[in-house]
Amino acid sequence: MTPSLSFVLPFSPDTADAVSRFAQTLPPGAEAVLAGEGSINTAGAPQVQVLNVPGGKGAAIRAALAQVKGAVTVLQDPEAAYPQDVYEALVRPIQADTADAVFGLRTAQGLAPELLADRALGQFTRFVTDVPLTDPLTSLRAFRTEALRSVALTSDDDAVDAELVVKLAAQLFRLTEVTLPPSDVPRRTPAAHLSRLRTLVRYATVRDDADNQHEGYTTLERMDGAVHYNQWLGRRFREHLGRRVLEIGAGIGTITRELESGLELLIALEVDRFYVDRLKNLFRGKPHIRPYLSDVALADWESLQKERLDTIVLSNVLEHIPDDASAVRRFRQILAPGGRVVILVPALQQLFGAIDEAVGHHRRYTPATLRAVLEENGFQVETLEWMNLAGLPGWFINSRLLRRRSVPKLQLKIYDTLAPLIAKAESHVKLPVGMSLFAVARSTGGNA
């Protein structure tokens, strides 16, 4: 019988005895794959497989993952051991399909030095990944096995703990946390802490092609962390949405998240499978959100027309399309008369610089050029406004003067802190200029 739950425990000669004891207390219906170096006693434990794997914790985990059979995999450090009800609580969010990975939040009596050291590294991990976890480097984690296997782990040593969190976050898997009962926190060597720290620094400062072969992804990921700015955009878009929405160029789902609440249907179209896979991870369990892999020019417009879409949203996307006029004509084809396009585009060709090149912009717009591409191709503009005057100097300095290819993370965090004030100020004045243009336009006729 195929087990529903698999345990993976990497071990060393120093922890082999602890792993042997765990093997004798395996929960019913579960299997364990023990990988590492040392002598293991598995007598009387038929659901236990032992792999002799030199090289360290990361190497052991990679070898074990190739052997697991359960739909859910628990990854546990050898010194950690918990009652069965703890494991049941750990895997429950995965079984309910509300999470792809669950991290055990460790607690200890008093201020355990080992826990404090891990929490300090955990704080840096959150800075690097923006994951909503208190204890991301915990000794007990559970994963949907399919998700865990999709992550290309390369670390051989304890750095695998940090690498795993970074790569799960990069692929937009759903991560959550459950509190564990108080227990002793296993002691990690200074070398283990240093290895994880080096890995986090590398991921914070160097683009890793194992996760990301798209230069523009760096900018998208950083913009995803601008929570207040994205909420501002979401409010602007939601004022003009119907119930059945097509988002063109959904990217990594930053605006999709802001739009989806209360909608009957949200089709998230994206040209690149790299992003579609992440959208599927992010919105797994939400059937009203449908990631759709297609180029705008090659989309199945007849099928989309049958979806009775009433709104098309483009958030910083129209500038990526080589023939924007042809695309706008396509939009009119699938909208009934009175259907809307709601568009945000970068403004002012004078700002076009290295960041625009990095993310694949063909142009920036003026009010006249945006109005023309809409009204010459079947739409009547109802709203056309400048947005984000405050962001204009920073973009000019970074993209034009300094030729940076992404917005520095610290600058973006500072701007995001100010975004609620900027949004409030702009809601009370008519801007003379801005970094972006926001437009709402209605379809003026039937299919063409």
pLDDT at 255: 96
Average pLDDT in the chain = 88
Indicate whether 175 and 298 sit together in one domain: no
pLDDT at 36: 93
Range of 165's domain?
5-208
Where among 158, 186, 208 does a domain terminate?
208
Q: How many structural domains are present in the chain?
A: 2
- Is residue 20 included in any domain, yes or no? yes
pLDDT at 39: 87
Residue 267 phi, psi (nearest 5): -90, 120
Indicate whether 116 and 224 sit together in one domain: no
Indicate whether 165 and 254 sit together in one domain: no
More confident residue, 292 or 113: 292
Indicate whether 372 and 318 sit together in one domain: yes
Q: Binning pLDDT at 50, 70 and 90, where does residue 206 land?
A: low
- State the CATH number of the domain containing residue 385: 3.40.50.150
Where among 164, 180, 208 does a domain terminate?
208
Percentage, residues of the chain above pLDDT 70: 94
Indicate whether 198 and 221 sit together in one domain: no
Indicate whether 221 and 162 sit together in one domain: no
Q: How far is CA 28 from the centre of its chain?
A: 35
pLDDT at 109: 62
How large is the average pLDDT for residues 28-52? 87
pLDDT at 25: 84
pLDDT at 220: 79
> Which of 16-20, 21-25, 188-192, 364-368 is modeled with the greatest confidence?
364-368
User: pLDDT at residue 277 above 70?
Assistant: yes
More confident residue, 261 or 118: 261
pLDDT at 280: 92
User: pLDDT at residue 201 above 60?
Assistant: yes
pLDDT one-digit tens code per residue, 405-422: 777 777 888 888 999 999
Cα 291 to Cα 68, 73, 145, 351, distances in angstroms: 29, 27, 22, 32
CA–CA dist 313, 344 (Å, integer): 8
Q: Binning pLDDT at 50, 70 and 90, where does residue 205 land?
A: low
pLDDT at 129: 82
State the burial class of residue 190 (Cβ atoms within 10 Å of its Cβ: 0-12, 13-18, 19+): exposed
How large is the average pLDDT for residues 249-260? 94
- Is residue 421 included in any domain, yes or no? yes
Beta-carbon contacts of 370 under 8 Å, excluding residues fewer than 6 positions away, are 343, 345, 384, 437, 439
How large is the average pLDDT for residues 153-162? 92
Q: Binning pLDDT at 50, 70 and 90, where does residue 184 land?
A: low
Residue 134 phi, psi (nearest 5): -80, -35
- State the CATH number of the domain containing residue 110: 3.90.550.10
pTM: 0.72
- Is residue 364 included in any domain, yes or no? yes
- Is residue 448 included in any domain, yes or no? no
Indicate whether 228 and 274 sit together in one domain: yes
User: pLDDT at residue 207 above 50?
Assistant: no
